[in-house]
Structure 1
Amino acid sequence: MSRKRETPSVAAPPADPDRLALRADCANCFGLCCVALPFAASADFAVDKAAGRPCTNLQADFRCGIHAQLRERGFSGCTVFDCFGAGQKVSGTTFGGRDWREAPDTAPLMFEVFPVMRALHELLWYVTEALTLPPARPVHGDLRRALADLDGLTRGSAESLARLDVAALRQDVNALLLRAGELVRARVPGRKKNHRGADLIGARLRGADLRGANLRGACLIAADLTGADLRSADLIGVDFRDADLTGADLTGSIFLTQAQLNAAKGDTTTRLPRTLSRPAHWPS
């Protein structure tokens, strides 16, 4: 199966063999994010779309017809979505290359399985990262077992995937990720800030010392983080939409994803983890 589609507008990050299968490969996906998922007219999407209905911009070859103008045409939400490689896994492995157009009987189950697979792949991404963190060695054994279990689940049948209790899986794996994050942050001297789940919309955090901070699930929409120090901060689930990361130092931050960066603002002075890339829309 090979479908030529555009890839996200970011430069290729350095090779990371352990996570290659967890990066979106749009050329080998049946446009599942453009069909299976719903979106509502908002600042992120120009129109409403129901789950299971193809986006009007999706072409017959599964390409996006406005890929190069997504932001200008009101579809910035598309530019910050990451399936973590779930699209090609469902398309090529779970359904063996049978696409929903040629085999419409597969569509309902395929669209049901896609968000489940995405959740599994996202967890795999975080667990794989946690296994690269030396301070988290005390939980590496449990993390390796979780990695094997999650990988096995992704290779199950479509029916078994549809039956999975994703919320329970997230809860179990999150306990390990939380412990890994605590071990990393404990290496930072001094008192660390705890903003877990905090509402920091528009917060003025210019130059803030957030080394080793717990920012899990924090809402930092449009926050001013210019020049902030986020080294060793736990950034899992942080909403960075329109946050200004110009000059911020994110090297060594943990559980940061490309999608989070794509939603933020920054430039060449923003320092990033080696596994992530500077978004193309950031000024050079």
Structure 2
Amino acid sequence: MFFLTVAILFLSSSCARKIPLSNTTKPVANTVIIVTDTVPTYNQQELKVMSYNIHHANPPSKAVGITDIDAVVSVIKKENPDIVTLQEVDMLVPRSNKQDQTQLIANQLNMEYHFYKTINLGGGEYGVAILSKYKLSNIRQLTLPKIEGKAETRTLGYADINFSGQKITVACTHLDARDEPTRVLQTEAIVKELQSVVNPIILCGDWNSSVGSKSIKFLQQYFENSCTDHCGLTVPAVNPKNTIDYVLTRNSNWLVKRHSVTAETYASDHRPVVVTFKLD
């Protein structure tokens, strides 16, 4: 009986196979994680995305010049997204103590990142950013059109990731806050820029436009909104009255497993949008 037990244990060990650690797992030195054939392996079939206008990490309840990077990081950590797109990000701007905000946030989250400049500001730069648990490649940027005298320069930043064996393009933007005709022009430019991309696209950002506006109606002819009814309000963070932040897709048949707006009122004047996709 003893020899039979030893044989069974030996055969069970030989059938065990190593599986990769998830990106949120910190491996212990000199430790190997194994599972037997009776235990399901880790399956990367869900992708979690966050879009967040961070108001250059200046909590609205604080004076200009006071930043709280840790508060922004805390909001993101609680959701633990695979991809984060940020708007209103400062790079070496005096009002935010010359912080490289993208780097500071990404380092705390242990994520890859790329900052896309929209405009020069106070000797530094202001723009949008993409953070990812997966390597960013093929990084691209498009300066968006505007109606002169009515609007500020805006940009589209995008890059590719490889997730669960497929290439996905992640794009981030922040459209003009003042002029809807400019936002329509900018939306048209974004659609045209991305029309040649054949792989799945995730397009996130602050559109400064509500559902029903001309720019969003045009956008939804080409992209699928992650939510179309009772989606949660995003601005202002305290007592929100409107939805202007979106996560959209194209060239995919993914199921939206969960769409939510995080009820965060301190870190920014926007609430973040979080979407979990179930990939086919």
Query: What TM-score results when the alignment is normalised by the length of structure 2?
Result: 0.25
Higher Cα Rg, which structure:
2
Q: Which has the higher contact order (CA 8 A, sep 6+)?
A: 2
Larger relative strand fraction: 2
Query: What TM-score results when the alignment is normalised by the length of structure 1?
Result: 0.25
